[in-house]
Amino acid sequence: MIEGLRRFARGRAILLIGLFSVAYLSFQIGRLFRAERLITGGELSLPLDDSFIYLQYARAIAEGHPFVYAAGNAPTTGATSLLWPFLLAPPHWLHLGPTLAIAWALALGAAALLVSALLMARLGRLLAGTLGMLLAVALFLGNPHLLWGYMSGMEIGLYATVLLGTLVLYLNERDGGTFPRLRWCLFLLAASRPEGAVLSGVLGLVMAHDRWRASRAEHGPRFWSAALLMPFAAAALPFLVNLAASGSIESTSSQAKSILAEPHPDVRHKYLTDSPRVWLSIVTAYLSWLQLDGDGNLVRRYWIPSAAALALFAAFSFLPRRRPWADGRALLLLFPAAVVVDSLPVVWAVHLYRYQQGFYPILLACFAAGLARAATLAWGRLPRYVGAPLAAFIVVAPLAGWAPTATDVYDRVILFYGHNCENILHQQVKVGRWIDHNLPRNAVVGMNDAGAIAYYGNRQTLDLLGLTTEGFAKVYRAGIGCMFEKLRRLPPQKLPTYFAIYPEWFPYLKSSGVLGPEIFRAHLGYNTICGGEDKVVYPAEWIDVVPADSVILPHPEIEGMKLRDSFDLAWLEDERRHEWKAYGYEYDEKRSRWKKNASVLPRDILRQYVYADRPTRPIADAGRKVFGWERFRVSAEPGKDLSLVMRTDAWYPNRLRVSVDGSAAGAWAIARSETAWVEPAFKIPGRLIARARPEIEIRREDPQDGGDYAPFHYWIFQ
């Protein structure tokens, strides 16, 4: 009987694991919902506002305008996963309402948990036999961060499940070298997340090598085949969809979040030079099981068993020469690729490391396989009296080290999930519902955190961060002043009539006169996941934000002259037209001194002042801070005297050196102004204007004194 049970367990191992996984996951998901309902007062929600961005895109799909986030908006690619919104669409086709749409998203997450557990079992068995299978499932089910991620309403579960399935297919089809199913699965992987597209390309290289190896065997396949290109076609898929949907291969989510889309050269350079440190941080986060202590530091107690397990997996991927398990060395190649691509978001260590969670089951499978391989070799190659206790130690010691993750940490993460859902429900969802009940139907709401407010608010929206509104990601990241210049040029029907924002995220807006008196506030007493404690709704007041594009003060020196050109700082299009660049010296805080070489330093500013002779009529304008010098081109008529008029707040007194095409034009002294706009003018002799687009350089005499000057607008008269 015992032998029969053993045979049944071996023959039906996946079935038994599936039954156990269903029971265990049902228990933990039940605890998750119980905690949420106790904290929220019984209402169902999601722990991230970004989850509602996917639901809004899914509703747009059901309404027949995919990629159009809100009616009246241009197409955008703010849904990071191409596939996930389509999976979320069925409740919206049936008009079942937000609660059932949330329930559907959670059901998909729960299904992904179960499928991932079964795939972990298959992957563990391929990599290290029965022991590897059991350990892989145990480590996966015992990780609370993955429970949080899969049940977040995000695409984490989709991406992780497809990636696990992809690797199982790879290991099963590797020997033949033709990959009949894997090459199609890669399209699902690429559509699940952009990281999947990158890994599809990496796998394409691995598959080409495996096909070359198989082609050398007798009766092996031909090496050259169109199928070799399919992984790279899959890798290109999301970029081609982005191009077709929005006219750019770069998604708006990438424009809003990626290091590569950072508009400030010095900041981008710092991000890129700091990348090795970020990669190391991601590796240590993986070794720490994504676990932080009470002070926000990664838990080091997990590092030794995690690093040892990973090292064992790597070592026994090459030794011994004859191995009873599948060749999993491709996973060692995917690991650094995943680390690099996961480091691209500007803010990557957020929300329980959610950007890293999708790949983390693969690391858990490697941990399990490393331990199982070492234990199997110890059991089979050493004398039993040595091998048995050594094998037991290899398995038990790391599990004991990791044990708090499956116990105490599990309890904390479940409680954290409940508080996250309460935060989103009582801030973003609350604001969205208030908007739906109180604002006019034709209201246009400018906002940050574009998910639940748009989903529940049912109004046309403008995402100030640019994730779901075309054309705003780059201007927001260039600075709030640049965003202001973009906003004030919108057509009247697109201009926000209300704002729902975190005030501290937009410090200039209140002082610029754009925001009217507060009309609604959603306050959190205990904030665990939101970007601020208070989400505030304001009416927009554009009456004092008139296009201040004309000279205001009298200028006798320009009488008889014609306006030849004008240049509005912080308006990115105008800056490109005039080839504007600002330079300065960075302050090296580590060395406490100025760096020797100047770099491009564009910094924005937004102010509202009056003119001295018009104290009742404030004007808001955006400009740039220039720390060292600036260069730009203007349109001019050669040989004629030119008057350059600048609008500035003259925060500091300055003495500027002006040159034209490298020739000195003289010094320009600007006195400090007291809370009023000023318009100093400078005359350039006609003999220096030798061409139709001369380059003008304006340089502070002491560019390392810590001060600056701020041009807001230039007018060129001749």
**pLDDT single digits (tens) 172-228:** 999 888 999 999 999 999 999 999 999 999 999 999 999 999 888 877 888 888 889
* Domains assigned to the chain: 2-42+97-248+263-406 (no CATH), 425-539 (no CATH), 556-717 (2.60.120.260)
Distance CA 540, CA 698 (A): 36
pLDDT digits (tens, 9 = 90+) for 153-172: 999 999 999 999 999 999 99
Q: What is the pLDDT of residue 440?
A: 96
636: closest CA among 706, 686, 693, 707?
A: 693
- Lowest mean per-residue pLDDT among 158-162, 457-461, 505-509: 505-509
pLDDT digits (tens, 9 = 90+) for 347-378: 888 899 999 999 999 999 999 999 999 999 99
Q: What is the pLDDT of residue 531?
A: 92
The β-bridge relationship of strands 498-501 and 444-447 is: parallel
Q: What is the pLDDT of residue 411?
A: 94
- Lowest mean per-residue pLDDT among 20-34, 155-169, 243-257: 243-257
Judged against a pLDDT cut of 70, whether residue 105 lies above it is answered with: yes
- DSSP percent split of the chain into helix, strand, coil, nearest 5: 50, 15, 35
Give the mean model confidence (pLDDT) for residues 428-438.
97
Distance CA 133, CA 123 (A): 7
pLDDT digits (tens, 9 = 90+) for 139-151: 999 999 999 999 9
Q: What is the pLDDT of residue 222?
A: 86
Instruction: Name the most confidently modeled range: 483-497, 547-561, 586-600.
Output: 483-497
Distance CA 136, CA 126 (A): 11
Higher per-residue confidence, 223 vs 638 = 638
For 216, residues 6+ apart whose C-beta sits below 8 A from its C-beta are none
What is the band of 9 on the pLDDT scale with cuts at 50, 70, 90? low
Which structure tokens are listed for 413? 């993460």
Q: At what angle do helices 329-342 and 360-381 cross, to 10 degrees?
A: 150
Judged against a pLDDT cut of 50, whether residue 713 lies above it is answered with: yes
Please report, as a single letter, which amino acid is at residue 602: P
Residue 133, CB-side half-sphere exposure with 13 Å CA sphere: 20
The C-alpha R_g of the chain, in whole angstroms, comes to 30
Distance CA 119, CA 107 (A): 18
Q: What is the pLDDT of residue 1?
A: 47
Judged against a pLDDT cut of 90, whether residue 591 lies above it is answered with: no
Which structure tokens are listed for 612? 């001295």
pLDDT digits (tens, 9 = 90+) for 45-93: 999 999 999 999 999 999 999 999 988 888 999 999 999 999 999 999 9
Judged against a pLDDT cut of 90, whether residue 123 lies above it is answered with: yes
Largest separation between any pair of C-alpha atoms in the chain: 109
For 275, residues 6+ apart whose C-beta sits below 8 A from its C-beta are 259, 340, 343
Residue with tokens 């000279």: 551
Check if the beta carbon of residue 428 is closer than 8 Å to that of residue 535.
yes
How much is the mean pLDDT over the chain? 92
Judged against a pLDDT cut of 70, whether residue 8 lies above it is answered with: no
For 224, residues 6+ apart whose C-beta sits below 8 A from its C-beta are none
495 three-class SS? coil
331: closest CA among 317, 321, 341?
A: 317
608 three-class SS? strand
Judged against a pLDDT cut of 80, whether residue 311 lies above it is answered with: yes
Give the mean model confidence (pLDDT) for residues 509-523.
90
- Lowest mean per-residue pLDDT among 142-146, 321-325, 610-614: 610-614
For 180, residues 6+ apart whose C-beta sits below 8 A from its C-beta are 173
